[in-house]
A and B are shown apart, each in its own frame.
Chain A
Amino acid sequence: MAGAAATGGSARSDTYASARNWLLLPSWAVLCIFVLAPVAMMLVYSFLTKEFRGGVIWEFTLAAYDQFFFDRGLFGDEPARIDWTYILIFWRSIWQAGLATFLALLIGFPTAYFIATRPAQTRTVWVFLITIPYWVNLLIRTVSMKFLLRDQGPLNDFLLATGLIDDPVRIINTNAAVQIGLFYSYLPFMVLPIYASVERYNFALSEAAADLYASKWTTLRRIVIPSVRPGIIAGCILVFVPSLGAFLAPDLLGGAKNFMIGSLIEEQFKGNAGNWPFGAAASMILLTLVLVILMFLARQQARADREATS
């Protein structure tokens, strides 16, 4: 999506060049005040001292970042050791988000490809079917999944009825449930951009490959996939980034034990027990992580584009 906004326009002109600044003013004002300024303020808060009733004291300290990475004992007087608690929560989130992205790609790519190769009339129906869940409230979808996966839920009832299992399988409140939830939440985000890429793919290339005795799977691996790479990358970003900071799936399906970044951050701001500077610092670390990944992919893409044109 971000990539789509960044590309130049085909029918660009300068009809309204004179009014340009006025036309841009509302968007700049709203986004600077309600997105940029808040992020800057969050950066400031991450360096402030924690107030016990859930606010801050305006004194500069690195305590929040220190707490994230190091353990200095109960009274803070022991030599610093690396504290793995929060690093592991981040690592688990990256792992869960990565796995969800991989699974979504595994199902999403064949789906996108299949839809793109349907005749034009039926194709719109298929796309419509993928678009509906994309528009349905994420909370409702997650609650539905919770209902389905419950110990006495329809999935267990079905498995018991078929005789595949003798006792209900415990799925809810496990890492697997979080995984299923993330995969299910963001699957349409994987299908739609890949579909858009495959639709523009020139199938004469596949025919040429077949004429040159490439097997179908070789054609897929060596010709189709490299050609639709931008769509695959866009789909992976759209699944990975929201999965990484997801709150609903880990909270509703994972229970208290299967913490991810989103729950860790949310907890710092809930009630009076929270630690705002620590929550701000954890958010900054998450934001940095995401921006580094996006920048890395953008540079990769720019390099691939240069190679394609030269």
Chain B
Amino acid sequence: MSSRGDVRTYSGFRAMTMLCLFVLYAPLIIVTIYSFNASRSITVWEGLSLQWYADVFWGPESGKFKQAAINSFTIALIAATMSTAIATSAATAIVRGGRFRLRMASLGLISLPLMVPEIVTAVATLIFFNSIGFTRGYLTILAAHIAFCIPFAYLPIQARMQGIEDTFEQAAQDLYATKAQAFRRVLLPMMMPGIIAGFLLAFIVSLDDFIITNFVKGAGIETLPTAIFGSVKQGIKPNIMAISTMLLVVSIAMVTISYIVGKKDNST
């Protein structure tokens, strides 16, 4: 047992891992700490305070951030729901639809938003809406988000469905369930962990997006990332650090949920 351990492990790899985690976490931890700074300056530390959180909710810029947060969360919710439904439907056809000519083409089309650089998608979408004369605003952001969230929702759903033998649906159909019933009552519940993972990933990807949103949003509408970006352009203010910390908490909560869902999945 000890000789096996020797073959597997490399000295120095642990140190590299620690360095990796340090690099990933140090900036986030420092910003979180400074978001509780009592000072007006971002450089000097003057003790603990919640004033910047209060500033986000009730300060002079609170209206702007509130509207941006509402836009961000409603767009993320609708885009994640729609793209998860579309992805589930596509995965059913691709994994349970037998052999067909357009199978590879469908997979390619679904993976397309992952292969095209984001800035290119952003430019293309802007040009598209401009050329068809569609006024940019909430709806154009939503349409773009639904499209680029599809592959993120699709991958966990496909992976999950591939792990489910079709014997369950066959059994249901042998017991006189229609195909629709077999899907809704048997396949869908078994796919739930994949669907939830896909939904959460799509939600976070939509909430996260800056580049595409910045191109297609038009004047007068902001999401949280575009509002934060606009504010940071004038210099980092403490209230931005408070907003960042709150979004950080949202992200961590979502990873934790998907982690718990995944863990439950393994235990059954």
Contact = CB atoms under 8 A, between A and B. Distances in A.
B251 A16 contact: no
B135 interface: no
B112 A36 contact: yes
A245 B127 contact: no
B93 interface: yes
A90 to B, nearest CB: 13
Given A12-B162, A16-B92, A143-B232, A34 B146 contact: yes
A4 B164 CA distance: 17
Contacts of B34: 147
Interface in B150-167: 150-151, 154-155, 158-159, 161-166
Contact of A34 (B106, B125, B183): B125
B7 A210 contact: yes
Given A5-B110, A147-B236, A245 B120 contact: yes
A62 interface: no
B60 interface: no
Interface size class, chain A: 35 or more
Interface stretch (B46-54, B63-71, B241-249): B241-249
A147 B247 CA distance: 17
A164 interface: no
Interface string B12-24: 1110110111011
Given A245-B118, A245-B119, A6 B111 contact: yes
B17 A115 contact: yes
A279 interface: yes
Given A23-B89, A132-B251, A15 B151 contact: no
A11 B119 contact: no
A140 B248 contact: yes
B255 A135 contact: yes
Contacts of B114: 1-2
A145 B29 CA distance: 11
Interface size class, chain B: 35 or more
A19 interface: yes
A139 B96 CA distance: 39
A65 B185 CA distance: 56
B97 A14 contact: yes
Interface string A137-166: 111110111111010111000000000000
A110 B90 contact: no
Contacts, number: 318
Contacts of A247: 118-119, 210-211
A188 B24 CA distance: 8
Contact of B27 (A10, A13, A184): A184
Contacts of B40: none
A207 B123 CA distance: 52
Contacts of A230: none
Contacts of A129: 21
Contact of A269 (B25, B150, B215): B215
B118 A132 contact: no
B24 A280 contact: no
Contact of B96 (A2, A10, A16, A124): A16
B97 A23 contact: yes
B96 A15 contact: yes
A110 B93 CA distance: 39
Given A6-B107, A16-B92, A133 B24 contact: yes
A110 B113 CA distance: 30
Contact of A145 (B21, B27, B228): B27
A47 interface: no
A245 B143 CA distance: 22
A276 interface: yes
A64 interface: no
B184 interface: no
B128 A41 contact: yes
A206 B118 contact: no
Nearest to A203: B8
Closest 9 CB pairs of A and B: A14-B98, A245-B117, A38-B128, A38-B124, A13-B166, A144-B27, A23-B93, A34-B147, A110-B16
Interface of B: 4, 7-10, 12-14, 16-17, 19-21, 23-28, 30-31, 34, 42-43, 85-87, 89-90, 92-100, 102, 104, 106-121, 123-128, 130-131, 143-144, 146-148, 150-151, 154-155, 158-159, 161-166, 169-170, 173, 179, 182-183, 204, 207-208, 210-211, 215, 225, 228-229, 232, 236, 240-241, 244, 247-248, 251-252, 254-255, 259, 263
Given A2-B115, A14-B96, A114-B17, 8 more contacts: A12-B98, A27-B89, A27-B109, A35-B121, A41-B128, A42-B127, A110-B12, A147-B31
26 contacts: A6-B108, A13-B98, A26-B85, A26-B89, A28-B106, A34-B128, A38-B128, A107-B19, A110-B16, A111-B17, A113-B13, A114-B13, A114-B16, A132-B251, A136-B252, A137-B247, A140-B28, A140-B228, A146-B232, A148-B31, A184-B24, A188-B24, A219-B7, A241-B117, A286-B120, A287-B120
